[in-house]
Amino acid sequence: MTELKIAADLIAAENDKRAAALKSDYAALGENLSRREIDIDAITRQVADFFVAVPSWGVGTGGTRFARFPGLGEPRGIFDKLDDCSVIHQLTQATPTVSLHIPWDKADAKELKAKGDVLGLSFDAMNSNTFSDAPGQKHSYKYGSLSHTDAATRSQAIEHNLECIEIGKTIGSKALTVWVGDGSNFPGQSHFTRTFERYLASMGEIYKTLPDDWRLFTEHKMYEPAFYSTVVQDWGTNYLIAKTLGPKAFCLVDLGHHAPNTNIEMIVARLIQFGKLGGFHLNDSKYGDDDLDAGAIEPYRLFLVFNELVDAEHRGVKGFHPAHMIDQSHNVTDPIESLISSANEIRRAYAQALLVDRAALDGYQQDNDALMASETLKRAYRTDVEPILAEARRRAGGAVDPIATYRVSGYRKKVASERPAPAAGSGGIV
């Protein structure tokens, strides 16, 4: 029996209050969609089958990379974090998996698995960390990790990734995500080619150890913490890595890791076309790697990314199953609410993309009718799919209005009384 952190009765009572309005909104939208020859129930079923992983580091109440302002009920460690993740899933029914970060979440792997089982959660990709030094670590990553000039430092970074795979095997993960901050701050500081050769050789060692049913995701990021050059700086380099390593290696696209105005949806299309799209770290940003809630700044861009994914599904692209994960962390909201909001926005973008009339779009593209092609996308994007999202949650036992229900539950207040308040302090790079 799954341990529920919010009483099922409370969710049912909150849903009852909203039942009549939802019924009528769902019927009205159903009628509208049927005029467009779309079966609302088919869309609702597809949305209900769409899941996104929550990042363990996203439920911490305190953090930005610059300072910590802990909020109430700050999780004391990974087991508290898993409790919080289970609340997000219980209310949204959209986030049954958690992505762990090692060493931040280091604990006995069997206990992690047991805790996940109790809460009805399983584990998505493992994330390694060779971008900061762990206490007691022999070699520092100050000047890099997998691409470091020193062989012993590289070996230590490789070993850490192998350890992540080992933990992942016990908890049922099937992927390793590697992001490194390796790079330089000054022209001339590092040799671009030799650095990348060392990185590839280290990744080759990790790849060799990867179980056959696992995937290896590499994540590119334009800059930060390195400000002049970064070893894995863009999707081109990322593609070269995945291509060099082999068939189990794929590119991970973190939406926040590009220059402002980059056409991310086009990057997604290219990676799909060449069979190397592994998955996403979904979030939003205005300026850089802001890690804001998905859809908070540019919801149309999120929709356009999903439009490419649905297009690939529609074309029946072989072996296409990208991993969807959230990567966000900031400190002016309750992170449970923010992650609920992101999960909803991600499903919203997916639902809207499912509404695109692909035959019409194809025709407009063929005829070079730019205006009508754009209108076809806009028509789907302008559709208010909230009744579909709410109905998908309700049918799965979640909340019609998850944030309102969460507030009524008093969960934050309850955990605040159980978890001692931590001290404020300086942040850490994320």
What is the contact surface with Mn ion in residues (CB under 5 A)? 254, 281, 289, 327
Please give the residues from 17 up to 56 whose contact with ligand LRH meets the rule CB under 6 A. Answer: none
C-alpha distances (whole Å) from 55 to each of 144, 277, 347 are 24, 20, 17
C-alpha span between 158 and 350 (Å, rounded): 36
* Nearest distance in Å: CB 254, Mn ion: 4
CB of 179 to ligand LRH, least distance (A): 4
Footprint on residues 93-152 left by ligand LRH (CB under 6 A)? 127
User: Comparing C-alpha atoms, which of 51, 188, 73 is closest to residue 121?
Assistant: 51
In degrees and rounded to multiples of 5, residue 272 shows phi and psi of -65, -45
- Report in angstroms how near the CB of residue 190 gets to ligand LRH at its nearest: 20
Q: Which does 57 bind (CB under 5 to 8 A by kind): ligand LRH, Mn ion, none?
A: ligand LRH
What is the side-by-side strand order in the sheet with 215-219?
126-127, 175-178, 215-219, 249-254, 277-282, 323-326
| Residue 248 contacts which entry, ligand LRH, Mn ion, none (Cβ below 5-8 A, type-dependent) | none
The 217-236 contact track toward ligand LRH, x by CB under 6 A, reads --x-x---------------
Relative to beta strand 67-68, strand 425-426 is antiparallel
Q: Which of 254, 284, 334, 401 binds ligand LRH (CB under 6 A)?
A: 254
Tokens of 295: 């859809």
Q: Is 239 in the site for ligand LRH (CB under 6 A)?
A: no
Q: Which helix (H) or strand (E) holds 123?
A: strand 122-123
Per-position x/- string for 267-286, each x denoting binding to ligand LRH as judged by CB under 6 A, each - no binding: --------------x-----
Give the CA distances from residue 107 to residues 77, 274, 422, 426, in Å, rounded to whole numbers and listed in that order.
9, 38, 20, 24
The verdict on 160 binding ligand LRH (CB under 6 A) reads no
173: which DSSP letter?
A: -
Rounded Cα gap, residues 354 and 387, in angstroms: 15
57 binds ligand LRH (CB under 6 A): yes
For ligand LRH, the closer CB: 148 or 257: 257
Q: Which does 127 bind (CB under 5 to 8 A by kind): Mn ion, ligand LRH, none?
A: ligand LRH
User: Least distance from C-beta 344 to ligand LRH, angstroms?
Assistant: 21
Beta bridge partners of 176: 126, 216
Which CB, 248 or 281, lies closer to ligand LRH? Answer: 281
Interface contacts to ligand LRH, rule CB under 6 A: 57, 127, 179, 219, 221, 254, 281, 289, 327, 430
